[in-house]
Structure 1
Amino acid sequence: MTVEIERDALLGALQQVNGVIEARNTMEILSNILFVAQEGLLTVTGTDIDIEANATTPVVGEIKTTLPSDKILTAVKSFKAGKLTIAEVPGRAAVTVKQGRGVRTISTLGADAFPKREALKNAASFRLAGDALLRLFGTCRVAQSRDETRYYLNGIFLHAVEGELRAAATDGHRLMRADMALPDAAKALADVIVPTKAVTQMIQLLGSASGDVDIEVNDKAIRFQLGNATIISNLVDGTYPNYDRVIPDVGAHVIKMKREDFTGPVSSVSAIVNAEGDKFKVRAVALDFTTGDDAYEVSARDATGTSATEPLEASYSGSGIRFGLNSQYAREVAGVFAEGSLLTLSLNDPASPIRVTSDKDDDLVGVLMPYRV
């Protein structure tokens, strides 16, 4: 069996599916990409069992085999733009990839051993604009948990509420919530947790392609299709906590400042007490609004006595307060909001959650948990 295909088209398809393949696998076949060419279309598929990605591209000829993902990707990259010929080697479990006089020979595994995924049954179907889905996933991804003991937080919670399609994520230290108008077809959407890996793959895909995304989801899995690419993932099997209880109303202390006037000083003071080579890292910064006369500041100090202070250009209403934040979490949550936006941070006391909103992002709410300083 032999196929002829454009190098750039094949490279693009391989890059779309390669991200789901793990570097180490207990099953050799999971390190391979499935190639199926028939009726003028090549479909390449990668999987780690929990998530599958495939992409299609025009082709001439037929083939059905699997190739090691790292080797075929490297081989295709090594050729220049133009047509490639992929042909099975008679009497061997191998293929040749040719362009002109250049040849790469790669071992194969049989396609029959590649895991087959069943179609979704009893699935709800709806369509979202790609930029809207990117907004939901891209803004909430910073708050996803990496703690495997609380596996139900390892992803983004997607659900319908009060005429909105809502995404939320939290790791217990920070929280992000994003809303968009609920499509009519999604009104019957059940609560689902989309795992981190699927979120990452969709963000990468949406960053390189535009258009509407067709979504199918049941109680076990979710399927996204954008153009010639498809991602199918198992859902996280668990119950997401009632995160709304953590989101406070506007508190007694209200701080308003430009996003960059917040993230810049926080980054500056944090960098001084976390210099390269320091054995112990200082995560906390202190925000001081007790001085009055608009002389507000952010500071950080390490155990050796090294310290840094920067003024904060902010407006403040309240009776004076000093509280701490994790500098990394604060920068990441603030960074989700629009460039140049006016952030509003509000809280009731130094031990209470901090609500974060902005004047340019009505669809977003963030929460930062306080840090002892």
Structure 2
Amino acid sequence: MKVTLERNHLLKSLGHVHRVVERRNTYPILANVLMSATAEGLDLRATDLDIEVTETVPAMTGTPGITTVPAHTLYEIVRKLSDGADVVLETDGNEQMQISSGRSRFHLQCLNPDGFPDLKSGAFTHTFAIPAETLKDLIERTQFAISNEETRYYLNGIFMHTVDSEAGVVLRAVATDGHRLARVEAEAPKGAAGMPGIIVPRKTVAEVLKLLDGIEGEVTVELSDTKIRFTLGGVVLLSKLIEGSFPDYERVTPKNNDKELVINRDSLSRAVDRVSTIASERGGKAVKLALSPGQLELTVTNPDHGTANEELPAGFDLEGFEIGFNARYLLEIISQIRTENAVFLFNDAGSPTLVREEGDTQALFVLMPMRV
């Protein structure tokens, strides 16, 4: 095969596909990117057997052909070539590829493309188009709560499903690690109603979020019980779904929390960040919130270094109340609040706390307390 293409186009596409390739693989072919030169351009495909990313790069094809070369090495070579330069990719049989640009020449070992795996998609039962900004919002505001605990594999992703609400059918994204829960919803796109509840894996979520960067318009989503496929900006990402049942998150979502705190989001975030400076791992990174009418006091105690405290004006008009939280978890939830004020709804010091945006019901967050 022989193709000529612009370095920036090739670099951008390699940047999309090479990220799914694991640096350590049991099968050497999985470290490679499949390259197929056709009259339409150069097709690139990479997979880790769970995710497959495909993209076509504009190219002048001199000789059609197909081969595979090491993905990360090729990406690094192209990244270091001159901006805007032409790149020529040429193979002689299937043993080596020559990469030429200006006075630079590289030769990479090829592997036979016959052994490259195909992550077959099968039949999709539901297809819908969702605005890129909406999908990005659903992912960004729930991703932080995905569990890293491999034993509870069904929590290692974002649960997506449709729900009938008073406003109509909504598409809801939920993630939890048992310490905090994020639930965000948007109007369900046409074709999404009745879709199966699916768990999109953590790695897939991260890759889709990167691909959404700078994308406008709509993203096509196709799904079945076992696979999901995103088509966005000329890139196709196919992924397996996590098998298993996501827990009934409604059971841990507080319904009767009646102690309400309304507080400026930015002031609270800065104050928590300041006092948590002296928090220790031994102390669990805990910050204590002491509420009294019109005031919130934050306190962190470190057995090795001392204490820190700060007072803030707050909308709270009940009797004194104290509760503790993991400072990092609290900051992560505050960072997802988009309104000027955050609303905290408490029950007691040992029960989950509900956090919402002022006047908005599309996003809610649940935070488990700590003993302080």
TM-score normalised per structure 2: 0.95
Offset at 1:361? 4.5
Write the deviation string for residues 96-126 of structure 1: whole angstroms up to 9, x where unpaired: 1111221111111111111012233143111
State how far apart, in whole Å, the 2-side matches of 1:177 and 1:32 are.
38
Residue in structure 2 matched with residue 36 of structure 1 by the alignment? 36
State how far apart, in whole Å, the 2-side matches of 1:207 and 1:341 are.
25
Residue in structure 2 matched with residue 49 of structure 1 by the alignment? 49
2:106 aligned with 1:94: no
Query: SS at the partner of 1:25?
Result: coil
2:152 to 139, 142, 150: 150
Q: Which moved more, 1:37-46 or 1:222-231?
A: 37-46
Letter in 1 for 2:44: V
State how far apart, in whole Å, the 2-side matches of 1:30 and 1:370 are.
44
Distance change in 2, residues 1:313/1:45 (3 Å): farther
State how far apart, in whole Å, the 2-side matches of 1:127 and 1:53 are.
19
Q: Which moved more, 1:9-18 or 1:295-304?
A: 295-304
Query: SS at the partner of 1:35?
Result: strand
2:336 aligned with 1:336: yes
- Structure 2, unaligned runs of 5 or more: none
State how far apart, in whole Å, the 2-side matches of 1:247 and 1:38 are.
53
Alignment of 1:1-373 (within 5 A): 1-61=1-61, 62-80=64-82, 81-89=84-92, 93-162=95-164, 163-249=169-255, 251-274=257-280, 280=282, 282-290=284-292, 292=293, 294-304=294-304, 306-338=306-338, 341-359=340-358, 361-373=360-372
State how far apart, in whole Å, the 2-side matches of 1:329 and 1:298 are.
15
Asked whether the 8 Å contact 1:282–1:302 carries over to 2, the reply is no
Query: SS at the partner of 1:366?
Result: strand
Q: Aligned pair count?
A: 365
Offset at 1:151? 0.3
Offset at 1:335? 0.5
Distance change in 2, residues 1:174/1:121 (3 Å): same
State how far apart, in whole Å, the 1-side matches of 2:174 and 2:81 are.
43
Offset at 1:54? 1.4
Offset at 1:149? 0.7
Identity of aligned residues (%): 33
Asked whether the 8 Å contact 1:270–1:282 carries over to 2, the reply is no
State how far apart, in whole Å, the 2-side matches of 1:260 and 1:282 are.
24
State how far apart, in whole Å, the 1-side matches of 2:295 and 2:215 are.
47
Distance change in 2, residues 1:250/1:341 (3 Å): farther
Query: SS at the partner of 2:361?
Result: coil
Q: Which moved more, 1:39-48 or 1:239-248?
A: 39-48
Query: SS at the partner of 1:240?
Result: coil
Letter in 2 for 1:83: D
Offset at 1:8? 0.4
Offset at 1:3? 0.5
Asked whether the 8 Å contact 1:155–1:169 carries over to 2, the reply is yes
Letter in 2 for 1:346: L
Distance change in 2, residues 1:329/1:187 (3 Å): same
State how far apart, in whole Å, the 2-side matches of 1:79 and 1:51 are.
28
Q: Which runs of 4+ in 1 moved over 2 A?
A: 208-211, 279-282, 359-362
TM-score normalised per structure 1: 0.94
Offset at 1:131? 0.5
State how far apart, in whole Å, the 2-side matches of 1:131 and 1:331 are.
24
Letter in 1 for 2:148: R
